[in-house]
Amino acid sequence: MECNKDEAIRAKTIAEKKLSNKDYAGSKKFVLKAQTLYPGLDGISQMLTTLDVYIASESKVDGEIDWYGVLGAKPNDDDETIKKHYRKLALMLHPDKNKSIGADGAFKLLSEAWGLLSDKSKRLAYNQKRNMTMRGFNVKVPTQSGGPPPAANGVHNFAKQAPTKPVVRPPPPPPPVVSRRNDTFWTICHACKMHYEYLNLYLNHTLLCPNCSQPFLAKEMPPPSNYKSTAPKTTAAAQNTGPPLVRVNTDPSTASKAASVIQKVNDRLKREREEFYSGWPSKKRKSDDESQPSGVRIPYQMSTGNGVPAGTGSLYGASINNSVNRTRELNYFELRNMLTKKARTEIRRKLKEWESEEKMKENNVSQNSQTEEDEQDGEQSAMNVPDPDFHEFDLDRTEDSFEDNQVWAAYDDDDGMPRFYALIHKVISRKPFKVKLSWLNSKTTAEFGSLSWLDYGFRKSLGEFRIGRHEVNKSLNSFSQKVEWKKSPRGSVLILPRKGQVWALYRNWSRDWNENTPDDVIHKYDMVQVLEDYNEEQGVPVSPLIKYAGFRTVFHAHTYETEVKVITKEEMFRFSHQVPKYVLTGSEAHNSPKGCLELDPAATPMDLILESTGKSNESSQPR
């Protein structure tokens, strides 16, 4: 296989050029060739993942990017499956771990896909938009809780009640022969208890209820007891393939009656709209209402902004509106009260709007100053640590402490210890603080053996680091201390323990640690002082530090040689982070122990600061 390595590297180089030219398909062809020639080629799997994301982003569904394809998921996957796909790809595409060409753009696409599909409302809207070209008609059948059953054509019949004469009802027609289609299924919205019939391709999908606008899972349910359907003839409504589907009666006489009803509904809507703005009822309404066929309940329709009535459904094979059923009409006094209430609400809203504009002009300056104070308070609270006993460590990390070509340690987002490193390229300004820097990162731990420390999610606080992209930083409180470093022959940054430095060691460290190791096992530390510079063959000797009684962050070195430990090359990841120190001279205060070390409380674990100091000073003093 080694003989194919050079050929694989050439194929990878060609793939990178094609990727730079956005020829993703051609690039993937050469990446697969390189992987076939030499499967162990560095970065080949990350590059292949990057290309898969770009290729998926070029796939369009109804003019939209196929975000499911970007995550490598399917539209019917649940939230947990989507989350697993995202975590897997994010681990491979994160800029700290994937330095292949185009990885940043692929990670941005991945983040955008996760931002859309992790939000239930956004995902639901996206699913609806994907299926836009397959929309059809829907029929809503409420569950029957009482009252007269619907007729075979789906229209509720209510006989007019006469106070003196009993109502003679005709005998019900014989029930039609029910014929179920094989390409549809019935489901129910559990929020409003409305039944719907959809095509089978929407089975087990999350849909939006047209009645209550709530999402529900379309599981197959038995058809409602008060709905009967016959095998329809081939019509435009029956041929529609979009959701939801309805089967209708296409009898010519019934369709003509429906057309007459629709025409009357449109005329009534026009009159009601004119009367709403005029405030006076029409004289023709009574006669028109009386001319309406008895026993027929006309749907009340509300029109949308584009002039098309909302809630379109299907009745007798013709398209009408079936939105909200009107039970009675408003009289003149009710209409006047409604309009008066609406006018008062509008006047109050306008008055509040004017008052808010005046207050905004008056308090604009005070609000800006308050916002700055809140930000400062939030930043101070985030960095709140106990005060040191003697030395003021904050004076060692002021704006004037920063210079060009320095490496500074910064606090991480795990337990707040300084395990991040930044190379300061240029100090742009000191007040306000602004620097141009590059964060140091590493993808390998080969300099300390074969332990896959980074693969388990742990931080690397020493060894060889690569310089990342330039960026501008304004957060002074993010930095802990200036770090000693040197440049390696390959141009990378080398940070290793040096004589006199103080480091925190993982107390329970083991080579068997992995991503399942509990935090309460990991975040236990011992403080040590480095006795000699790191040597690759011999390791580095360290001496444990003992807390001085009566103080929070004062330690002294152990004087017994038997307590000296040697950290070998294979155990270098036992080092957690470097801790700023100050050697006490005895002149700081009357009780300051001369020669002891005071450690920065911002880099000292809280359990060591709060550790019991019940021992006497004499027993704790260095011998």
Question: How would residue 581 be classed by pLDDT, with cut points 50, 70 and 90?
Answer: very high
Percent of the chain with pLDDT over 90: 21
Question: How would residue 1 be classed by pLDDT, with cut points 50, 70 and 90?
Answer: low
Residue 171 has pLDDT above 70, yes or no: no
Q: Tell me how far CA of residue 33 lies from CA of 10, 18, 43, 93, 206, in angstroms.
A: 10, 14, 14, 21, 41
Provide the residue type at 610 as one letter.
Answer: L
Q: In what order do the strands lie in the sheet with 493-495?
A: 479-483, 406-411, 418-429, 434-441, 463-473, 493-495, 486-487
Question: How would residue 438 be classed by pLDDT, with cut points 50, 70 and 90?
Answer: very high
In whole numbers, what is the pLDDT of the chain averaged over residues? 75
Q: What is the pLDDT of residues 287-344, one digit of tens each?
A: 444 444 434 333 333 333 333 333 333 333 333 344 444 445 667 777 888 888 888 8
State residue 178's pLDDT score: 47
State residue 227's pLDDT score: 62
Query: 242 versus 348: which is more confidently predicted?
Result: 348
Long-range pairs of 198-202 with CB within 8 A, sequence gap ≥ 24: 198/243, 198/244, 198/245, 199/136, 199/241, 199/242, 199/243, 199/244, 199/245, 202/131, 202/243, 202/244
Residue 608 has pLDDT above 70, yes or no: yes
* Contact criterion met (CB below 8 Å) for 397 and 480: yes
Residue 161 has pLDDT above 50, yes or no: no
